């Protein structure tokens, strides 16, 4: 397996999605600054943070699984905030659809990781 969580496809996908959300959310109305804008940015970034934290603790499968399910929960939360952004006209259908597809893929990958933590154990080093 990889040496860094940053090499994981799921991390890269989540990071790209969080970047896109940051850029898109810059155009959200001012009155959403302390609600939807902050919430969607926080949850999208939290997906990445949980992946990193869990990967660093992958020697402990229960901890790893817990962090991957936390990341999946944050991805679901982000998906819901995207629903609100679309409903209120803050995001166009094209961006919404692309981001929802990314979060579906992220969720699928995180579930696979949570269900198969042994695949992510560090390889023993041979001297």
| Whether the predicted pLDDT of 123 surpasses 80 | no
DSSP 37-83: IHHHHHHHHHHHHHHHHHHHTTTSHHHHHHHHHHHHHHHHHHHHHHH
Cβ-contact 102, 31 below 8 angstroms: no
Higher pLDDT, 124 or 30: 30
Percent of the chain surpassing pLDDT 70: 96
Beta strands in the chain (DSSP E): none
Q: What is 5-117's CATH superfamily?
A: 23S rRNA-intervening sequence (1.20.1440.60)
More confident residue, 123 or 23: 23
Q: CA-to-CA distance for 9 and 94, rounded, in angstroms?
A: 23
What sign results for the dihedral spanned by CA atoms 108, 66, 79, 95? negative
pLDDT (tens digit per residue) in 44-85: 999 999 999 999 999 999 999 999 999 999 999 999 999 999
- Going from N- to C-terminal start, the domains of the chain cover 5-117
Give the pLDDT confidence score for residue 1 in this predicted structure. Answer: 46
pLDDT score of 3 more than 90: no
Is the four-CA dihedral 37, 70, 102, 123 of positive or negative sign? positive
**Which residue is it, tokens 């659809």?**
97
pLDDT given at position 8: 97
The pLDDT > 90 percentage for the chain reads 91
For the question of whether the overall pTM of this predicted structure is more than 0.85, the answer is yes
């Amino acid at each position: 397996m990889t040496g860094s969580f940053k090499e994981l496809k799921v991390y890269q996908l989540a990071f790209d999605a969080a970047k896109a959300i940051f850029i898109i959310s810059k155009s959200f109305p001012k009155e959403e600054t302390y609600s939807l804008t902050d919430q969607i940015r926080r949850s999208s970034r939290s997906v990445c943070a949980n992946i990193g934290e869990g990967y660093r603790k992958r020697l402990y499968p229960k901890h790893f699984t817990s962090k991957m399910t936390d990341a999946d929960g944050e991805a679901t939360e982000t998906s819901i905030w995207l629903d609100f952004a679309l409903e209120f006209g803050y995001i166009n259908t094209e961006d919404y659809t692309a981001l929802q597809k990314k979060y579906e893929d992220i969720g699928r990958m995180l579930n696979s990781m949570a269900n198969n933590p042994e695949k992510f154990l560090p390889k023993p080093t041979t001297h």
